[in-house]
Structure 1
Amino acid sequence: MTHPPLLVMSGIDKAFAGVSALRGAALSVAAGEVHALIGQNGAGKSTLLKILTGAYRRDAGTVRLDGRDVNFSTPLQAQQAGIATIYQEVNLVRLQSVAENVMLGHETRRFGLIDWRGTRARAADVLRGMGIELDVTRPLGSYSLALQQMVAIARALVLNARLVVMDEPTSSLDDHEVERLFTVIRQLQAQGVAVIFVSHRLDELYAVCTHITVMRDGQTVYQGELGPLSRLNLVSSMLGRQEQELAVAGQTGFERGTPGDETLLTVEDLRAAPHLHGVSLSVRRGEVTGLAGLLGSGRSETARAIFAADPSSGTVTLGGQAGRWTNPAQAIRAGLAFCGEDRKHDGIIPEWSVRENLTLALLPHLTRAGIVRRDEQSRVVTEFIRRLDIRCAGEEQPIRELSGGNQQKVLLARWLCLNPDLLILDEPTRGIDVGAKRELQRLVSELAQDGLSVLMISSDLEELLEGCHRVTVLRDGHSVRTLSGDDLTEPNVLAAMAHDPASPVSVLPATAPHPHPGVPS
């Protein structure tokens, strides 16, 4: 059944500091349609959606919702018109309870006062309808990022929206939770609710979307049904390259180089309740070592423990010396750098400029008598903007105005300017497009060839297989297998994740539990 257009955006222009972000962009979504919106970082997707939801004001163009011209000046106006938005980074209040987050502004009332029992019951019912059982009285921040994402989705359902915008909603979900989300999306579709679905995972697009809009360089370059469009067509439209070029590029892959024989990092029997129960791994100089595992396997917790962001026990050795750092500042001085998975809360400072964000960790080296040497700071920033091809209007542009991929490059530059020995990357390509992802993968490979050691966490198995010399698989807080060479295959990694009896699993040697040097056990 064909539904009439619910949303029509046409001729949308937007510029920041004289730099054009959108040029005549268009988007048309029908009621009951699941519509994919894709493009490289910097293509204009986020800007177009922020104009739709009232976060930005457009410079030109028209927006029609249900046949009426609209011009939202605030996100609240868009919400009141029936548009609910679920952002890539969870945008809720972590210190408040799950129930308060789900029902915020829509609490059940009795005699003019909030009926907390009814509010909690309603929140629990909405989550239960999504197949999720949670203690809705607990603070949201006490749950994993994946469950926080599902709470954000539940909040959108409470709004009874006619149009739901989902910006990378699956980025923190495991396969089971993704299927649960898709079930919810299909329920919305059956009710005539339109969904705009932003994702860089092509499998997800073909699984749940019916139509697609492709953006490139601030313009809409394709609109139509998704089904007839091949994946090569899709990537070609995003990148603006010929299919033959992409086929050749796909065969080329990355030149990973050969790491040295010297072991830089050794981790033995790392433990941190309640998530880590014995993780052992090693990284050689100039090597990219991957950490694979399902959600909850302990990947991020391992990275945080190595960086001393969380207390742990076990042995960490760096360059043949016992790691005696007890906090991140000491770890940085020892030669470690860490890019976390949640760049909004743990990485960028949104209102600060590219310059300020990029040089944050370097400030002690740029300061003389308490005053920052601006000329030296600008020299460093200019060098890394060029080296990493950070697309921005200039070093003074607020980082919040950059695309996700370019924000990630700024964070990477923040650590590279310290010249670390070991770079820990937790989901470095989460929520960025195919082109930016390949660019970052290539950059990591080049850094390793220059002698930098990298420990990389990724939920994207293909990314690990392509970019890593070795992969250590974690399961339930244990390291269960390390794969390299001909053994580093997708079936072997999956078997280790699932503990498939048909595939032998070799547990890494671990010493008896003893305290991490300098860290109370």
Structure 2
Amino acid sequence: MHPIPADDSSVIATLGDVTKRFGAVNALSGCSVSLRRAEVHALIGANGAGKSTLSRIIAGHIPRTSGTYRFKGEAVDFASPREGLTAGISIVMQETSIAPDLSVLENIALAEFGTRGRTRWNRMREKAANALVDIEQSPDLLHLRAGDLSIAQRQMIEICKALYNDSDVIIFDEPTASFSPLEVEQLFAVMRLLRERGKSLVFVSHRLEEILEITDRITVIRDGRTVATDIATSSITTRDLVRWMVGRDIENVYESAPQPQASASREHAVLDVRHLASAPLLRDLSFSVGRGEIVGLAGLVGAGRSEALESLFGLRKMQGGEVLLDGKPYRPETPIKAIRAGMGFIGEDRRRQGLVPDLSVQENLLLARLGRRRAWFTDYGTQTSAIDALFKDLDMPVHVRDVPMLSLSGGQQQKVLLARWLMLSPSILLLDEPTRGVDIGARSTLYRIIRKVAASGVAVVVVSSDFEEALGLCDRIVVMSDGVSVAEVPSHMLDPAILTMLSMPRSSARQMKAVLDDIAREIEGAAFWVQIERGRVFCLDLVERHAMQLGFAPTHFPMVEQTALRALWSADTQDGQVVEDGAVRAVKLRLVNASGHAFGEIGMSIPSNIDAAPLSRAARIVADALARHAITHIRVAIDTYQHEETLNER
């Protein structure tokens, strides 16, 4: 540990040797942390380690039992959340506190209604609109009912509250749990903006790759105690974080890598979904799952993934298409019918869709069993040995059977929800964000159990916004965009970057389509947007003025040597270099996003008997087309003017 000098002027808040007791339970037993202005400080630990408790003490939501707390150089003892908010501290909670029947505007400006004076709606609306623009959301959201938003949108509104209040310290408690990589990148852009404005940010997350990317310093809590604090993020590795968090190394969190295997044939599929539709988001989804197979539905928020699982489980009305179970027609009308047909379902929001907070752990665990039984009495006593065996497999103590459900950590709650369905021995398991808000130790256990369930012959469908998780856990990925299944790819062919680009909403992709249209028209040939990964061509879009038989397409991902442009992707070919490959001339350029990360390649191709002069201006043509269509988050990786000067010298 590296204590911060008391006279460090950058320090805005310091907590020393903080303890917190809830009755006989010690939630914190000696935590220390110092927060600096213009920094992002990670607060990490396993579920139940005390991160949320410490965050709530910082924000004034709960009092500490003992220890010291200094804010802006003064000793403080906040008596309420209002006092913390007034002092300049906001917290964005993992479980959103949205008032569902109020508008988005009223939720963002909620703190205003607890103050004296006349409500100034015009000023509130302007401030709220600015907060939405800061996080790249439309001000049109302001008039919507907050309860109608998706869980990811509700999380964005929580973030807007903190921006609206212009807090000096903003605590983000698992803000990305429901975000896809694209939304995570948008949030990180907001966090970088706030850091530049001198704000002190606290980032609580279980996604270790996010911690390493966005944070400046790290504090690790284990079992209510600080085990490492004020550590520069740049000086540590993922292995260090895991060891501090769980006290041991976890070599392979996914238990084992997905093995390449053929898709389940329609004739032998346990679940066969054909052109499934359910308004307003789900429009045309087709996929099949065989026994022992784990299939992922991947896409960005709004792609219709959750709606697909809810439709299959009878929670949403199926408005089009057909579903077959073991080759027989199935109409998912109600959850009871789905359960009795052999389906299990875990929703993305366990508070709203899974838990009954006033019931015990055992009562929550046996709810689905009660729903499937037709008897009027319970049979809890006969299930004790089965529950004990399940808890042992899930690394949970058996004595928690009779405790209130909400006394468990998020990871333990998720294990109980999984155990609920394992008690029924389902033939199909639908899992929506199965590890949302779960630490790496609990995730490792959940992955092991999911793989074990699949190995027993159960067909598993997984929705995950964590693309690393989807690729590590699933055998095949069905890519969804704007409610439509647009590709189906074995997971070993993909990486998160490719999956993100394949998942891009078609409304967003229209901008790139327009760019390719412009380029193809100018060169009188073909323009394409691709990602090359492990020798395979992933075509994200293609526009051809003349059919050129390039050998790849947006739904066909061949190896480089199987295409007509083998020379283009040779290791010796540089960006902007025109190559001739048989009857075709071509050139490629790397694209990067605003953060400098790779965003695929854009290429041009013309028949070899046509003048190649336009291809020598490829960088300028692409840059002009991007600017013409107001695409500012993507650019050509090379300097266009310098590149053209170099070519002219040659």
TM-score (norm 2): 0.70
Alignment of 1:171-210 (within 5 A): 171-210=177-216
Shift, 1:86, TM fit: 0.3
Q: Match of 2:480, SS? A: strand
Structure 1 residue corresponding to 2:138, chosen from 117, 129, 133:
133
Cα offsets for 1:193-249 (capped at 9, x unmatched): 2111112223322332111101222221111211111222222222322xxx55x54
User: Equivalents in 2 of 1:11, 1:103: separation in Å?
Assistant: 35
The answer (yes or no) to whether the contact 1:470–1:488 under 8 Å persists in 2 is: no
**Aligned with 1:35 (options 38, 41, 47):** 41
1:89 is the counterpart of 2:95: yes
Aligned residue in 2 for 1:343: 350
Report the alpha carbon displacement of residue 314 of structure 1 after superposing the two structures with TM: 1.0
Q: Which amino acid aligns with 2:133?
A: R
Residue 462 of structure 1 aligns with which residue? 468
Q: Please give the alpha-carbon distance, in whole angstroms, between the structure 2 residues aligned to 1:424 and 1:251.
A: 18
Letter in 2 for 1:125: N
Alpha carbons of structure 1 residues 233 and 443: separation in structure 2 relative to 1, 3 Å: same
CA contact (8 A) 1:19 1:393 kept: no
Q: 1:393 Cα deviation (Å)?
A: 6.5
> 2:337 maps to which residue?
330
Preserved CA contact (<8 Å) 2:182 2:300: no
Q: How does 1:399-418 map to 2 (within 5 A)?
A: 399-418=405-424
Structure 1 residue 146 corresponds to structure 2 residue 152: yes
* Structure label with greater radius of gyration: 2
1:500 aligns to what? 540
Q: Cα 1:427–1:51, aligned 2, differ >3 Å: closer, same or farther?
A: same
CA separation of 1:423 and 1:119: change in aligned 2, threshold 3 A: same
Q: Displacement, 1:165?
A: 0.8
Between 26-35 and 46-55, the greater mean CA deviation after superposition: 46-55
**Structure 2 CA distance for aligned equivalents of residues 351 and 16 of structure 1:** 19
Contact 2:255 2:447 in 1 (8 A): no
Output the CA distance in 1 between the equivalents of 2:385 and 2:39. Answer: 49
Whether 1:390 and 2:390 are equivalent positions in the alignment is no
Stretches of structure 1 lacking an aligned partner (at least 5 in a row): 508-521
Given the superposition, is the C-alpha separation of residues 113 and 251 from structure 1 closer, same or farther in structure 2, using an over 3 Å criterion?
A: closer
Provide the secondary structure at the position in 2 that maps to 1:361: helix
Question: How far does residue 456 in structure 1 lie from its aligned partner after superposition?
Answer: 0.6
Distance across 2 between alignment mates of 1:411 and 1:116: 43
Equivalent position amino acid for 2:338 in 1: A
Counterpart amino acid of residue 239 in structure 1: V
Distance 1:51 1:380 in 2: 40
Asked whether 1:264 is paired with 2:267, we answer: no
Larger relative contact order, structure 1 or 2 (CA cutoff 8 Å, min sep 6) = 1
Structure 1 position 484 matched with structure 2 position 487? no
In structure 2, how many angstroms separate the alpha carbons of the residues matched to 1:75 and 1:208? 27
User: Against the structure 1 CA distance between its residues 51 and 422, is the aligned structure 2 distance closer, same or farther, given a 3 Å change threshold?
Assistant: same
Partner of residue 518, structure 1: none
> Is residue 337–residue 415 contact of structure 1 (8 Å, CA) maintained in 2?
yes
CA distance in 1, matches of 2:20, 2:399: 14
Moved over 6 A (4+): 255-261, 365-368
| 1:449 correspondence with 2:455 | yes
Determine helix, strand or coil for the equivalent of 1:94: coil
- Matched to 1:228, the amino acid is S
Letter in structure 1 aligned against 2:324: T
Q: Aligned residue pairs: how many?
A: 501
TM-score (norm 1): 0.86
Aligned to 2:433: 427
- % identical equivalent positions: 38
Counterpart in 2 of 1:215?
Answer: 221
Which residue of the other structure, out of 353, 356, 363, is the alignment partner of 2:370? 363
State the match for 1:240 in structure 2.
247
Q: Which residue of 2 aligns with 1:513?
A: none
Match of 1:231 among 235, 238, 248: 238
Question: Is 1:164 matched with 2:177?
Answer: no
Moved more, 171-180 or 399-408: 171-180
Bigger mean CA offset, 265-274 vs 384-393: 384-393
Q: CA deviation at 1:380?
A: 5.0
Match of 1:317 in 2: 324
Deviates more, 1:308-317 or 1:68-77: 68-77
Which one of the candidate residues 100, 125, 132 is aligned to 1:120?
125
Summarize the Cα distance change of 1:8–1:391 in structure 2 as closer, same or farther, 3 Å threshold: farther
Deviation at residue 377 of structure 1 after TM alignment: 5.7
Q: CA RMSD in A?
A: 3.1
Q: 1:102 aligned to 2:108? A: yes
Q: Residues 16 and 43 (structure 1 numbering): CA distance in 2 closer, same or farther, change over 3 Å?
A: same
